Amino acid sequence: MSKALIILSSIFLGIGLVAPTMTVVPKAGELTWLMETLDPESMAPVTYSIIGIIIELANSMEWLLFSVLTFFSVLFPITKLYFFWAASGGTEQHRNIKWIASVIGKLSKFSMAEVFVVSLVLISLKSLPGGTEVHLEFGCLIYFLSVLFSTFASLKLFRKKDRVIIDSFD
């Protein structure tokens, strides 16, 4: 069952990274009509995927945001799913992999940095003058489903009864 959850999470992750995540509709307040006439290209709605946002950050030379978003939205989830898959093998020789996967499972609870960064971007775009609008697209839901299925896989892999309890030396 956990392998099925990992497969579903991987599929949703792949789709969620490239699917449209948000659309930015620029506005210029009362001067929107003038801006649309003078520079229609700058007033056209732009849709981004997570990968598109990362590429845009690289093109803008925003290396800190690029690094944070790349690590927490792409590299960490892929690594986590790899170790979950390896740990789901169940053989004793995979004990180290299972330990690494359990650590990654625990760390993933704190890996909400991409949500934080995307939230900051949304808040900053919403606060732009002129009423610029940001609409979330279906890619956001798909990516969320990936996170949800990987969380379920983690819970299934590392149930309390499977944990090794180390006696403390008093």
Burial of 21 (0-12, 13-18, 19+ CB in 10 A): buried
The secondary element (H helix, E strand) that includes residue 53 is helix 50-59
The pair of structure tokens assigned to 103 is 């650590």
Q: What is the mean pLDDT of the chain?
A: 78
92-144: per-residue pLDDT in tens?
A: 556 677 777 777 777 776 565 556 656 666 666 666 667 788 888 999 889 88
Count the alpha carbons within 13 Å of 109 in the hemisphere toward its beta carbon: 8
What's the rounded Cα separation, in Å, for the pair 76 and 156? 19
Most confident of the following: 3-12, 71-80, 125-134: 3-12
Domain boundaries of the chain, sorted by first residue? 2-157
Which band of pLDDT confidence, cut at 50, 70 and 90, is reported for residue 166? very low
Residue 169's pLDDT band (cuts 50, 70, 90)? very low
